[in-house]
Structure 1
Amino acid sequence: MKTTRLSFKPLPFALLLALSAPAVHAAADAPAAPPARIGVASFNLAWAGSQQDFDHHAAVCKAVSWCDTRPRRLPGQTTPTEEAVQAARQCAADTERLAGGPALAAMMPPCSAYQGRRGDPPPTSQDYAAKLAGLQATVAQLIEGQGVGVIAFQEVRSAAVVRTLLGRHADRFSVCDATHDGFQTVAFAWDRSLSPEPAVCSVEHGLAVSDNPGDPEARKVRPGLALELQWPGRRLSFLNVHLKSSCANIVPTSAFQARLLDDPAPACQVLNRQVAPLERWLDSVAQRSPEFVLLGDFNRRIDEEEKAAIKPEQVRSDGSNPAGVPAQDATGKVSSRYLWQELNDGTRSLTQVPLAGVDQGCRGFTGLDHIVLSDALAKRQPAGLGSRKTAVVQAPNQRIETSDHCPRSVTLSF
């Protein structure tokens, strides 16, 4: 497991001390200062890069006729045809050649990333500018309307893009991101007044498992990112994840079948191999910072798993006790079948912050973005704590949607 640590010096602070510590010369019988209350949010930005990133993407995609590197399936097909597979391979080869090679092609979105309904004209630079404007307005809404001071971002190209999206608030916030060899990564932005000492960002490369452990050239999924703030006498950590997609639910729907983590589907196999490094990361952080928030795009309905009556002996396919980090085979696979019960395993107590409200007009994915508290932090919260999903800002007839996720936020007591 390789960890990269980056330090960021804060600007002068006053707000935190005023909120979280009594005055030095306060009378002995003066009431204790109320706990600080800080808004925390998670926001998947849906392939957010710079305007220049999009213009390069559009130039390459125009040259390959906006082909799709993923095999297309017709309605009713469970698997793509061989013809579709070959077309996707040719698209990938052409895209890599025009982008300057596989490494540079990995740093641009697929040509289908911003496409609307089939048959629509290709998106333009102006269309993408509207998406960025919507993201910036949504971030401003979180900061100004909900007092959010820590934001975990997913599906973003770089810290530089986050600074652009912070707009008029960029001078107040520090930003860090996780180095990665793909376009999508994770990042944090936090109000510098929150920590009297330098904040520390650490990249958790252990989560960036390979799509195919037998192929050294295979793409890797996103790493994790930790943000550590030092409060008077306490540490507080935030862990940002964007786990493997397409192995999301245990309750079947009309669009998605139920899948456990030992399902043979390739996506489930990848998510399965993220379980052990995620558990080790949580254990490591908890030793240094018992109060932590785990948040982001889990790409898993851990709320469904929590509600299911899963007995301990059912959590792993071998019936072993789910306490502790599961054993891995040579490829990194584990016997875990459920993510939530594996993480909240009895030796480690975690609390999901329930979804208490959804803004009107909030569309997109549901059940994938979560906010989870460590036991030590959960005990500081008032009864009935809930989170909300905020609708993204989008102009009428906007051709590239601002995001297919609504940001999820909560105000926590520290």
Structure 2
Amino acid sequence: MNYRLSVLALLSTMAGCATPTVQQPPAQIGVASFNMAWAGTEADFTTHLDMCTAVGWCDTRPRRNKGETTPSPEAIAAASRCEAAIDQFAGGARQAMHIAPCNAYKGRNPAESVTLANYQKKLAGLRATIASLIEKDGVQVIAFQEVKSGQVIRDVLGKHADTFDVCHAPHTAFQTVAFAWNRAVTQMPGQCSPRKELAVAEDPANAANFRTVRPGLALELTINGQPVTFMNVHLKASCANLKPNGPYQPRMLDDADAACRVLNRQVPALEDWIEAVGVKSPRFVLLGDFNRRIDEEAAENVPPSQVRTDGSDPAGPNKKDALGYVATKYLWQEISDGKPSLYQVPLSGVDDGCKGFTGLDHIVISEALKAANASVGSRKVAVASEPGQVNESSDHCPRIMQLHL
């Protein structure tokens, strides 16, 4: 035996064993947005059940009879009595905002009783849906809407809770936004930043009004040595359609409708946030429940001079009046004004069994990500549920994509 060659071979083997294995960053990651429809813990639901039983399952929204354009004085009075009873149960109006309303979990069959056992089935459906997203679809970053806390996210992650980190945006009401991400996808710990600016007041003209809409939430991960920022939104509801093909009346953002007035005041906060993130982290994703058909708006090809009522360039400063209203008529044309450029990820498929709201949940990517995702698409996947389930798992289907990085 050649002793010298044997020693060299041994040293080479030892050196190879001593070399640490470098984990390669993922070439792509699965991303999802999922509105979980008033998802809270079992303890949150028990409080809701106790309250609604105590107040007789009343409704704080005045009901309109068929053919009525406005609620009757009797309906308004009944709603007011309901609100007072709920506030008394909760210990005040601010405390009551942290409890889900009595119509939150009635699902598609309101004649059925709302029980803890039925709510547990809803949570089981959410848990099965998320497990499928992770195991079948390879989803590693999930933006959640309509959740109460980080704890309910950990509950529905189930067996995957040990490998995912979680954060949520603190809020003054039940519904907020949250993230869960597989900690293996990032080379640095994920950084979450709530965006309180999006939580604008429902009625800015009333100094005594303390009700605000939902905040935003940013998650910054480090992938391939560079930051990637995910921006989670759940914007004001009921100002959804530009065209007469949805559940609400077609309206622009300068409409006098109360919901559109709130959404209008969220626009400058959202635009400022996008521009700030774009400077720091050119690779970013804006996703969530926009409560607006931005795909319809994009299809209109509105010239810049018609985006705002004053004819000013949407790429320029968005002047607010004393109450925070701006001159914009369109959400999409205002936020995707070229500074920076944004791209809607098209919906390329809807799985069988996917029901619920359409056109409200979107995924938008920055110009830097579009360059690496030229032919990217997204799809909506069905929510898991049991036969005869009373409280539906969610009235939204998760929207998912594979993001190349």
TM-score, scaled to structure 1: 0.90
2:24 corresponds in structure 1 to: 18
**Does 2:149 correspond to 1:158?**
yes
Secondary structure, counterpart of 1:80 in structure 2: coil
How far the C-alpha of 1:231 sits from its partner, in A, is 2.8
Structure 1, unaligned stretches of length 5 or more? Answer: 1-13, 21-35
Cα separation, partners in 2 of 1:146 and 1:117, compared to 1, 3 Å: closer
**Any conservation in 2 of the 1:16–1:193 contact (CA below 8 Å)?**
no
1:1-400 correspondence runs (5 A): 17-19=23-25, 36-116=27-107, 120-215=111-206, 216-253=208-245, 255-383=247-375, 385-400=376-391
Secondary structure, counterpart of 2:140 in structure 1: strand
Aligned length: 385
Secondary structure, counterpart of 1:97 in structure 2: helix
Q: How far apart are the structure 1 equivalents of 2:176 and 2:274?
A: 19
Q: Deviations over 1:330-356 (max 9, x none)?
A: 111000000000011122200000000
1:31 corresponds in structure 2 to: none
Secondary structure, counterpart of 2:296 in structure 1: helix
Q: How far apart are the structure 1 equivalents of 2:339 and 2:120?
A: 48
Cα separation, partners in 2 of 1:172 and 1:119, compared to 1, 3 Å: closer
- Corresponding letter in the other structure for 1:57: H
Cα separation, partners in 2 of 1:212 and 1:382, compared to 1, 3 Å: same
Q: How far apart are the structure 2 equivalents of 1:203 and 1:15?
A: 36
- Corresponding letter in the other structure for 2:319: A
**Any conservation in 1 of the 2:239–2:248 contact (CA below 8 Å)?**
no
Secondary structure, counterpart of 2:121 in structure 1: helix
How far the C-alpha of 1:118 sits from its partner, in A, is 7.5
**Any conservation in 1 of the 2:108–2:390 contact (CA below 8 Å)?**
no
Secondary structure, counterpart of 2:136 in structure 1: helix
Structure 2, unaligned stretches of length 5 or more? Answer: 1-19
How far the C-alpha of 1:83 sits from its partner, in A, is 1.0
Q: How far apart are the structure 2 equivalents of 1:15 and 1:319?
A: 59
- Corresponding letter in the other structure for 1:330: A
Q: How far apart are the structure 2 equivalents of 1:121 and 1:267?
A: 31
Higher mean alpha-carbon deviation, 181-190 vs 81-90, is at: 81-90
Q: Deviations over 1:393-414 (max 9, x none)?
A: 0111100000000000000100
How far the C-alpha of 1:49 sits from its partner, in A, is 0.3
Q: Deviations over 1:2-29 (max 9, x none)?
A: xxxxxxxxxxxx9994145xxxxxxxxx
TM-score, scaled to structure 2: 0.92
Identity of aligned residues (%): 55
Q: How far apart are the structure 2 equivalents of 1:15 and 1:395?
A: 44
How far the C-alpha of 1:164 sits from its partner, in A, is 0.4
**Any conservation in 2 of the 1:249–1:300 contact (CA below 8 Å)?**
yes
- Corresponding letter in the other structure for 2:272: R
How far the C-alpha of 1:79 sits from its partner, in A, is 1.5
- Corresponding letter in the other structure for 1:312: P
Secondary structure, counterpart of 2:179 in structure 1: strand
Higher mean alpha-carbon deviation, 102-111 vs 297-306, is at: 102-111
Cα separation, partners in 2 of 1:107 and 1:119, compared to 1, 3 Å: closer
Q: How far apart are the structure 2 equivalents of 1:116 and 1:155?
A: 15
Q: Which runs of 4+ in 1 moved over 3 A?
A: 14-17, 116-119
Q: Deviations over 1:301-327 (max 9, x none)?
A: 000001113111110011111113411
- Corresponding letter in the other structure for 2:83: A
Q: How far apart are the structure 2 equivalents of 1:395 and 1:117?
A: 14
**Any conservation in 2 of the 1:15–1:194 contact (CA below 8 Å)?**
no
Q: How far apart are the structure 2 equivalents of 1:234 and 1:324?
A: 29
Cα separation, partners in 2 of 1:254 and 1:289, compared to 1, 3 Å: closer
How far the C-alpha of 1:55 sits from its partner, in A, is 0.9
